[in-house]
Amino acid sequence: MSYQEKSAWACVLSILVVFTPYFFVVFWYPLAHVGMFAITVALLVAMLVAFHTVNSITTAPIRKSGDVPAPDELDHIIELRAAKLAGIVLATVVLCWSIATMFGAPAQGVIAIASERAAGDLATSSSFAIPVSQALFWVHLLFAGFVVSNIAYYTAIVAGYRRLSNG
Amino acid sequence: MDKIVIRNRIRELRFKAGEMTQQALADRVGITRQTVIALEKGRYYPSLELAFRMARSFGVPLEEIFSVTE
């Protein structure tokens, strides 16, 4: 297994280790419900720092195990193909997110008005506003898309090297 | 258009060149050992530049390393 492949494996694992618990928390326990938006942002920054730390730790033995060969033309081709795939994934995610947000966010506003009316309150135009927790949900969904495209990039690199090894 | 298959004699030429190792060839032409393995197995076709570097490394014309079969 080449250094580039090991490095890609380390990146995939690091992303999964760091961002799986992060998205689990922000999607299942929306912190904005308790007005803790600042904590969400701080958590995100901490997660990004943790990602780079875990990534650095996991790739350190690879770097120390011998001379790291410079990437050659085959490595560049594999990276280019992976970047192309990641670009397609990102574009698809952003497009789906835009469409889902266009319909999903107003639908949540309509639900908010309906629930106010059901409670006997007078619904106004301000009732159409969605709660911060819902807004954050959509933001995190987009951020998850960026993370997914990153996973696609590194997975495609691993797949590229595996294809060479296994035919 | 029919697909062409490019065959190579890299492995054979390595052994003719004093049983040169894959790593030694990789170092001489500036690629990784994994790329040499991929080339020998025919899973990767090199760029023209790399092909000429290999030919120069073995001291043979390009067509003695690579050949095309329909």
Task: Please give the residue that has the higher pLDDT: either A33 or A156.
Answer: A156
B47: contact with A, CB 8 A cutoff: yes
HSE toward the beta carbon, residue A139, CA cutoff 13 A: 13
Domain with B26, as residue range(s), is: 5-60
The verdict on residue B68 lying in a domain is no
C-beta of residue A154 within 8 angstroms of C-beta of residue A106: no
Residue A21: pLDDT band with limits 50, 70, 90: confident
Domain count of chain B? 1
Contact status of A8 with chain B (Cβ, < 8 Å): no
Average pLDDT on A160-165 reads: 86
pLDDT averaged over every residue in chain A: 81
The predicted structure's pLDDT at residue A125: 64
Q: How far is A2 from chain B (nearest CA, A)?
A: 7
| Mean pLDDT along residues A47-64 | 73
Task: Tell me, yes or no, whether B67 lies in a domain.
Answer: no
pLDDT in tens, A60-113: 776 666 666 778 899 999 999 999 999 999 999 999 999 998 888 788 778 877
B51 within a domain of the structure (yes/no): yes
Span between the terminal Cα atoms of chain B, in Å: 10
CB A156 within 8 A of CB A162: no
The residue count of chain A comes to 167
Q: Do A74 and B41 touch (CB under 8 A)?
A: no
In a domain, B22, yes or no: yes
* Cα distance between residue B21 and residue B15, in whole Å: 8
The pTM for the full model equals 0.77
Residue B34 included in any domain: yes
> B70 in a domain, yes or no?
no
Higher per-residue pLDDT: B29 or A70: B29
Give the ipTM.
Answer: 0.84
List the single residue in A with minimal CA-CA distance to B43.
A164
Q: Which CATH number goes with the domain that contains B28?
A: 1.10.260.40
